[in-house]
Amino acid sequence: MQGIYEQTAEAVALIQEKWSGKPKVGLILGTGLGDLSKQIDADVRIPYADIPHFPTSTVQSHAGQLVCGKLRGVPFVAMEGRFHYYEGYSMQQVTFPVRVMKALGIETLIITNAAGGINPQLDLADIVVIEDHINLLPDNPLRGVNDDRLGVRFPDMSAPYDRELKQLARETALRLGIPVAPGVFVAVMGPNLETRAEYRMLKTLGGDVVGMSTVPEVLVAVHAELKVLAFSVVTDLCLPDALEPAELSKILAVAAQGGERLARLIPEIVENL
């Protein structure tokens, strides 16, 4: 049977047929956060359906293509549309694009997501620089026989989010006048949002933001020895005693506001890596 390593090689071969660039940085765009991809000087946009072993996106708010080109002169690849475990994909499928971007040559992975704000100090459209995470997902992309060509059996998680990249993000945000807060991201499976009792629990556990993505990709990125920087946009306020019903349309509208900030912040970070 073909393993992830061989599947990755096939996906890379197809991409390299269409694009001769060697990306230094990869980006995963979260729900409603696609604005940034407009700033990429795209050489080619490859629909996921054309890439061997790539899952195809089922969520309407995600376009489902790999954008290859340059961002501020830096060779760059961006996933417009990501995969979530709640859609029914395996963890290996959810994280396959990270393997592919690594094999294409990226050294740094930037991840964005839409998340609920658990910390009561957070406001709608705030940007959180993810400091650390708590993984409450029921499965793990690294489960199974380890392929030593991809990474070690027991990846260290003492610092999954690169210290220097976080520092660069904070300094850049300050210079641009974009407020950012550090925070702990909690990953849950979804697709339902949380009950008031669950938000209370997540706050007690030490979470600042909660979402249904990112952690699988981070685990695989760390396994692959990539440097990771991740941002949440706060799209709904998870205040257990004043909780309003969540509406996808509202979440997407707020994501667009935060996305506009990230679209100013991230290119500036990439330029100064």
Which residues of this protein are in contact with ligand HPA, per CB under 6 A? 114-116, 188, 190, 193-194, 210-212, 235-236, 238, 251
Distances from the Cα of 38 to the Cα of 42, 151, 191, 218, 261, angstroms: 9, 33, 28, 24, 14
Nearer to ligand HPA by C-beta: 4 or 251? 251
Distances from the Cα of 98 to the Cα of 228, 229, 258, angstroms: 11, 14, 24
- Please report which residue ranges of the chain form alpha helices under DSSP H: 4-18, 91-104, 163-176, 196-205, 215-223, 248-271
Nearer to ligand HPA by C-beta: 106 or 209? 209
CB of 266 to ligand HPA, least distance (A): 19
CB of 56 to ligand HPA, least distance (A): 22
Nearer to ligand HPA by C-beta: 80 or 236? 236
Other CB atoms within 10 Å distance of the CB of residue 241 = 8
Nearer to ligand HPA by C-beta: 53 or 62? 62
Distance of alpha carbon 225 from alpha carbon 134, whole angstroms: 20
CB of 133 to ligand HPA, least distance (A): 13
Nearer to ligand HPA by C-beta: 47 or 190? 190
Nearest-CB residue to ligand HPA?
Answer: 116
Side chain identity at residue 248, one-letter code: L
CB of 139 to ligand HPA, least distance (A): 17
- The answer to whether the beta carbons of residues 150 and 219 sit under 8 Å apart is no
